[in-house]
Amino acid sequence: MKTLAEIASHVGGSLHGDGSVQIERIVHPSLAQGNSDLALILSPNAIRFLEKAKVLNVVLPAGLEGVPVPNRIVVERPRLVLAKLTQLFERPVYIPSGAHPTAVIDPTATIGKDVCIGPNCCVGPNSKIGDRSRLAANVTVGAEVEVGCDGLIHAGTYIGDRSKIGDRVIIQPNATIGGDGFAFVTPETGSVESVRATGEVRHFNTNLVRIFSLGNVVIEDDVEIGAGACIDRGTLGETRIGEGSKLDNLVQVGHNVTIGKNCLIVSQVGLGGSAKVGDRAVVGGQAGLPDHMTIGNDAVVHAQAGITSNVPERSVVIGSPAQPKRDFLEREVYLKKLPRLSKQLKELKQQIALLSEKLGA
């Protein structure tokens, strides 16, 4: 329970109305029911819900403060306020405190202060779990792993040997950190090499020899990894996720990939082995980056893009094969013109035939 005045102060908004009202829940305006509900209006579109529902308290963007709701907090950037409000009203995931009796913790592991290790978790030899970090149930932490402070590792996640996880890292359920890289080689020239060299399959993958992964995964501070995401460890060196970057569910990160700082990698993206993503890049859902390719700083890659050459800094690319958005849109315009072009061509043909006839005559 927080008062409206406390909330206004926390989110940096200006309060109109009764600041002493106690708020229990943040809700979508269509779901506001009582005196302890605070409705959040993110955009002018949502104003219409105020009429239908019984809204007594509202947070809304500047310019809309005239709505007939008794208590209003007016803010500048409502989505940022959503972040602040959800932090204030967070409902932390249930993890029993302390080390659960069913957890299997190697005696050589170092466990920090106020750490929670849930039921059926394993922590391997020489691993360290930093202060206040929480491991939910059925988490497997290998050997010589370092997890920083204030981390949250959700149920079913695997963290492989020698991984280094920074502070305040959140890993969603069933993620795999530090699986082996997908790396094989044919003793002789293989089919893919053949296609690269000649455009045709002239050699065959009669044998696939495994390249073992000796490296590890490094996850810097304040990173978040989505549910079911897979981050392979490096072959010789490391796979690294830079500070503050956020990876969504089911993202695939190949061996030796480097992701910079503050990136957003949306669900189901695939990053091939040794690929590089710069700082602050945004990669849309289901996009793919092949082995050894690069996405530059601040680039924005659209969903489902299939990258086939390095993406420059600050560029915006789209399509499969991916191209600059400007080119893509231009191409779309011409594609839409195609039926008309085809028809015009036919007409010209007829006109020329007529002209030729006249001239020939």
Residues in region 43-102 near a copy of itself by CB under 8 A: 77, 79-80, 82-84, 86-87, 89-91, 93-94, 100, 102
> Could you say which of 16, 100, 255, 292 is catalytic?
255
Give whichever of 113 and 350 is closer to a copy of itself, judged by the CB atom. 350
Q: Within 286-305, which residues bind a copy of itself (CB under 8 A)?
A: 286, 288, 290, 298-300, 303-304
Q: Within 130-159, which residues bind a copy of itself (CB under 8 A)?
A: 136-138, 140, 142-143, 154-156, 158
Q: Among 14-22, 54-62, 67-75, 350-358, which window interacts with a copy of itself (CB under 8 A)?
A: 350-358
Judge contact between 304 and 284, C-beta under 8 A. Answer: yes
Burial 77-94 (b: 16+ CB within 10 A, else e): ebeebbebbeeeeeeeee
Give whichever of 146 and 298 is closer to a copy of itself, judged by the CB atom. 298
Helix 4-11 to helix 78-88 angle (10° resolution) is 120
| Shortest separation between residue 217's beta carbon and a copy of itself, angstroms | 12
Residue of the chain from 50, 244, 283, 293 that contacts a copy of itself (CB under 8 A): 244
Write the DSSP symbol of residue 43.
S
To the nearest 10°, report the CA torsion of 173, 229, 83, 118: 20
Q: Among 16-24, 54-62, 109-117, 212-220, which window interacts with a copy of itself (CB under 8 A)?
A: 212-220
| Shortest separation between residue 17's beta carbon and a copy of itself, angstroms | 21
Which residues make beta-bridge pairs with 301?
283, 317
Q: Is 260 in the site for a copy of itself (CB under 8 A)?
A: no
| Shortest separation between residue 3's beta carbon and a copy of itself, angstroms | 19
Is 255 considered catalytic here?
yes
Q: Is 2 in the site for a copy of itself (CB under 8 A)?
A: no
The H or E element that residue 74 is part of is strand 71-75
Q: Among 14-22, 50-58, 108-116, 196-204, which window interacts with a copy of itself (CB under 8 A)?
A: 196-204
Residue of the chain from 7, 46, 73, 124 that contacts a copy of itself (CB under 8 A): 124
| Shortest separation between residue 182's beta carbon and a copy of itself, angstroms | 4
CA–CA distance, 1 with 3 (Å, rounded to integer): 7
Write the DSSP symbol of residue 180.
P
- Residues with Cβ within 8 Å of residue 63, at least 6 apart in sequence: 44
User: Which amino acid, one-letter code, is at 138?
Assistant: N
| Shortest separation between residue 118's beta carbon and a copy of itself, angstroms | 7
Tokens of residue 111, six digits: 């466990």
Q: Is 230 in the site for a copy of itself (CB under 8 A)?
A: yes
Q: What is the side-by-side order of every strand in the sheet holding 116-117?
A: 116-117, 134-135, 152-153, 170-171, 224-225, 246-247, 264-265, 282-283, 300-301, 316-318, 323-324
Catalytic residue positions, numbered: 255
